Chain A
Amino acid sequence: MLKKIKRIIDYGKSKKNIGSKAVKTFSFDQVEAILSNISDGVAVIDKDFCIAAFNQTAANISGYKIEEVVGQRYSSILKIYRNRKLILNDKFIASIIEVNKKKDLGNVSIIINKEGKKVVISGCVSPYKNDRGSIDGCVVIFRDLTKEKEIDVLKTEFVSLASHQLRTPLTAIRWFIEELYNGELGELNPGQKDYIRQVMESNTRMVKLVNDLLDVSRLEAARIRIEPKFTDLTKLAKDVVGYYLPVARANNCQVIVNDPREVLPKIKIDPSLIREVLSNLVSNAVKYSQNKTGENRVLISLAKRRNDIVVSVKDFGIGIPKKFQRRIFQKFFRADNVAKIDTGGTGFGLYISKLLVEASGGKIWFESEEGVGTTFYFTLPLSGSEARSGERGLVSEEEGMSAKI
């Protein structure tokens, strides 16, 4: 948007400079008319940190009248926060003018309007040059996201409600089918039993999809609670591995947690969320360790780096084909070599893991070669995760809910 305006202004200038040959120049009024009709808020801040121009949309979003703000210091008008911190400050603007580079204000930032109300916006700040080519100040462009946010909330609520509603018939299917399969209503012949098993497996997959969908909708809407507690990550990893031992044994796979070289400090993270990440990574590693020579291993290592702890889950399995590597953290995505082995996956595991690691203040990535193996890494900050209030934990975590209490 800014580029467009700049182009328009530049166009006007260049035509003016040509003078007699000018076909059409934009007058100041015309530029103002264009600015006032833009659906984004535009504010120009000069080198003295005062507002030099303000369009109608900016006035609508901020609640101030144009004539009220022009000439005023920006800081009393454009109070823009990101993650509860004032982002648009003198330092921020000075750095843009100095470096001559555009900077983001974030996709979910807040502007406090004249009445003191919070308005969700996204925006960016760019430097602008005067006639002589030197930077004269900056342009703040911001967009009101209130409507988008409302739609987002509706979407999340819809998914959440739909998931709950879907679970009831799925439960009915499960209960009837299991009884049939168990021969409670008379023995089935092998063919019947096989078909019933197919239905059962599809049903299980559907339940998992619905649960994952619910988790994703909560995670995307940042409605998951984060309760950091001092956690021994090595112990957590061993717990998770213990849970997967039966599956690993069935796959002829050995899962080993390497004891770290030095004792790792306990860090403040939400163990239920990181348990889910580890579960996803370990279960994938075990599932996709299909080495034909017969010996399958999964190695889990933990190490301290400067500011974080790195956890790695290494397998010697089928690997991720190069052409799919870019898409591996996308939701619903499943590489075709994986889909052949395991028909029960939902394509949510890594997407959820990424959301969880990032919500915990860490990063997740991988290295992989087809036919050789894959290593997933994730970090968690030594300083711990930031707490977040939210209505609930994960659905997958709640499965064991009553057992815990």
Chain B
Amino acid sequence: MIFQSKPKVKSYKVLIVEDELKLQKAIGDKVQREGWQSIVASNGEEGLRAVMQEQPDIVLLDIIMPIMDGLTMLKELRKISDVPVLILTNLYDEKKLIESFRAGSYDYLVKSNYSLNEVIEKIKEALENAKK
């Protein structure tokens, strides 16, 4: 048995938009170990489609991706949905950071500075705030 799922408190649907397969898997597995459901998309276009089809509770969004980058997707997404979006990137760039907040992201996390547990905490925080 690979996953020892924790008792389900509440099952969330988490959309991971990330072009790096290894990171997709790391976050996806972690989300599932939390007892939540994970959906993955590898670029902005796939991400938009997934939002419409799956109606996730939260979106984890990378910035640099092929076909459609994260910020473009975020702007498109805001036209159709208020789903909370956590930017999860390795790009250190204040311009992108400000742009993402303006476009309506919940937070901007630099991947290499966060553990998965901290990412999970951020997801919970964003979901809590979204309920209010």
CB–CB B111/A167 < 8 A: yes
Spell out A's residues near B (CB within 8 Å): 164, 167-172, 174-176, 178-179, 182, 184-186, 207, 211, 214, 392-393, 395, 398-399, 401-402, 405
- B60 CB-CB contact with A under 8 Å: no
Binds A, one of B68-76, B77-85, B102-110: B102-110
Query: When the two chains form their complex, are residues B94 and A398 in contact, meaning their CB atoms are under 8 A apart?
Result: yes
CB under 8 Å from chain A, chain B span 83-125: 90-94, 97-98, 101, 107-113, 115-117
Q: Kindly list the 8 A-B residue pairs having the minimum CB-CB distance in the complex, ordered from nearest.
A: A172-B22, A175-B26, A171-B111, A167-B90, A398-B92, A402-B108, A171-B112, A167-B112
- Which of B2, B92, B108 contacts A392, CB < 8 Å? B92
Specify which chain B residues have a CB less than 8 angstroms from the CB of A214 in the assembled complex. Answer: 92
Q: Is the CB of B94 within 8 A of A401?
A: yes
Tell me, yes or no, whether B53 is within 8 Å of chain A by CB: no
Nearest B-chain residue to A178, judged by Cβ: B115
Asked if A182 and B110 make an inter-chain contact with CB atoms under 8 angstroms apart, the answer reads no
Other contacts beyond A164-B91, A168-B111, A184-B30: 11, CB < 8 A: A170-B112, A172-B20, A179-B30, A185-B3, A185-B4, A395-B92, A398-B94, A398-B110, A399-B110, A405-B98, A405-B108
Chain A residues, Cβ within 8 Å of B27: 175
B98: nearest chain-A partner, CB-CB: A405
Could you tell me the distance between the alpha carbons of A269 and B115 in the complex, rounded to whole angstroms? Answer: 33
List residues 1-58 of chain B with CB under 8 A from any CB of chain A: 2-4, 20, 22-23, 26-27, 29-30, 33
Say yes or no: A172-B23 contact (C-beta < 8 A), given A178-B115, A392-B93: yes
Contact indicator B2/A185 (Cβ below 8 Å): yes
Q: Judging by beta carbons under 8 Å apart, are A401 and B90 in contact?
A: no
* Category for how many chain B residues contact A: 20 to 34
Cα of A398 to Cα of B93 in the assembled complex, Å:
8
B residues contacting A by CB (< 8 A) are 2-4, 20, 22-23, 26-27, 29-30, 33, 90-94, 97-98, 101, 107-113, 115-117
By secondary structure, the B interface counts as: helix
Give the residue name and chain of the A residue nearest to B1 (CB). A186
Residues of B within 8 A of A168 (CB): 20, 23, 90, 111
Instruction: State whether B115 touches A171 (Cβ < 8 A).
Output: no
B115 A399 Cβ-Cβ under 8 A: no
Cross-chain contact B26 with A176 (CB below 8 angstroms): yes
Among candidates A171, A182, A184, A399, residue contacting B90 with C-beta atoms closer than 8 Å: A171
Cα separation A402 to B92 with both chains bound (whole Å): 11
Q: Is the CB of B4 within 8 A of A207?
A: no
A173: min CB distance to chain B, Å:
9
A-B residue pairs in contact (CB < 8 Å), sample of 16: A164-B91, A167-B111, A168-B90, A168-B111, A171-B90, A172-B22, A176-B26, A178-B115, A179-B30, A185-B4, A207-B112, A398-B92, A401-B92, A401-B94, A402-B107, A402-B108
Least Cβ distance of B21 to chain A in Å?
A: 9
Q: Which one of B30, B91, B113 contacts A399 once the chains associate, using CB atoms below 8 Å?
A: B113
From the candidates A175, A178, A399, name the one contacting B23 in the complex (CB within 8 A).
A175
Q: Let me know if B23 and A171 touch, CB within 8 A.
A: yes
Minimum C-beta distance from A167 to chain B (A):
5
Whose C-beta in chain B lies nearest to the C-beta of A184? B33
Q: Smallest Cβ distance from A335 to chain B, in angstroms?
A: 28
Check B97–A179 contact: CB distance below 8 A: no
Q: Are A178 and B97 in contact (CB under 8 A)?
A: no
With a cutoff of 8 Å between Cβ atoms, the chain A residues found around residue B92 in the complex are: 214, 392, 395, 398, 401
Measured in the bound complex, the distance between the Cα atoms of B75 and A84 in whole Å is 42
Question: Per a CB cutoff under 8 Å, which of A172, A186, A395, A398 touches B26?
Answer: A172
**Chain A residues positioned under 8 Å from B111 (CB to CB):** 167-168, 171
Report how far A175 CA is from B29 CA in the complex, Å. 11
